[in-house]
Amino acid sequence: MEKITYEQPLNERVRTFLRLEFLFQQTDHALKGTSPWDSRAALASLLDIHNIFVRSDIKTEVIKELERETANLAPLEQLPGIDKQRLSKTLDDMDLLNDKLHLKQGQIGQSLRDNEFISNVKQRSSIPGGTCDFDLPAYHYWLQQDPAQRMADMRGWMAEFDTIRSAIELILRQIRESAITDNQIAENGFYQQNLDAGTPFQLIRVSLPIEAGLFAEISGGKHRFSIRFMTMQMKERPTQTNHDVEFSLACCAL
């Protein structure tokens, strides 16, 4: 039975990492196409990624999270029943990525900021329809080049984020795998749970079958969270179901 999973970050750091993960995946998907429209979509996602790095010191946040997770995972090597080989590889990967990020000079994405072509497209992208052919003839020219050339350019620009992307993916994977998934029931479509303030909960994950015909609205912070299961109304405001809903819940803390 196919399920949809809904995630709710419980702090700003994880919220940013999830947004970047989404944008990296969106860029990957666009790069599978070869049309100028695919390249437009890929570059638009790249600019969104770059904007996040310009506004925040993501490198420092990733380094802090790697070090925090390493400190929490390392003592587990002494516990019985632990897959020590897998844990050792995870810790080695974290150390390697941490070292690479420490060696990275300057801000991540600086080379794109210094790229005149990227800067011009970025500036016009803030205007609705601002990247039309007549506004950016150089962009129009680039879009008409051989697809292999466009993809090579895009991959070169994306390479700026390779190390930090790998770190974010590893961090999120460890967070997601930190929780045991339980089956729960939302009475009349509503569920609420308190969280132990002493436990570093970072992410709530809710899964339910596509066939349920509902979607989950999750809200919460470090003390508690709530879930409302809603029926989709394309022309009206969604409404909370009045039926009990069985779902899977994971409260991720690492």
pTM of the full predicted structure?
0.91
Residue 1 in any domain: the answer is: no
CATH of residue 244? 2.60.440.10
pLDDT tens, residue by residue, 164-196: 999 999 999 999 998 889 999 999 999 999 998
CB contact at 8 A, 162 and 223: no
Contacts of 32 (CB under 8 A, 6+ apart): 38
pLDDT tens, residue by residue, 38-56: 999 999 999 999 999 988 8
Give the separation between CA 78 and CA 101, rounded to whole angstroms: 28
Q: Find the range with the poorest average confidence among 31-35, 80-84, 216-220, 231-235.
A: 80-84
98: left (phi over 0), alpha (psi -120 to 50) or beta: alpha
Do residues 163 and 189 share a domain?
no
> Of 111, 98, 20, 100, nearest to 65 (Cα)?
98
pLDDT of the residue at 81? 66
pLDDT band at 4 (very low <50, low <70, confident <90, very high): very high
Instruction: Specify the residue for token string 């979607």.
Output: 215
Instruction: Classify residue 151 by burial, with Cβ atoms within 10 Å: 0-12, 13-18, 19+.
Output: middle
CATH of residue 129? 1.10.3900.10
Range of the domain at 39: 12-174
pLDDT tens, residue by residue, 88-131: 898 899 999 999 999 988 888 888 988 999 999 999 998 999 99
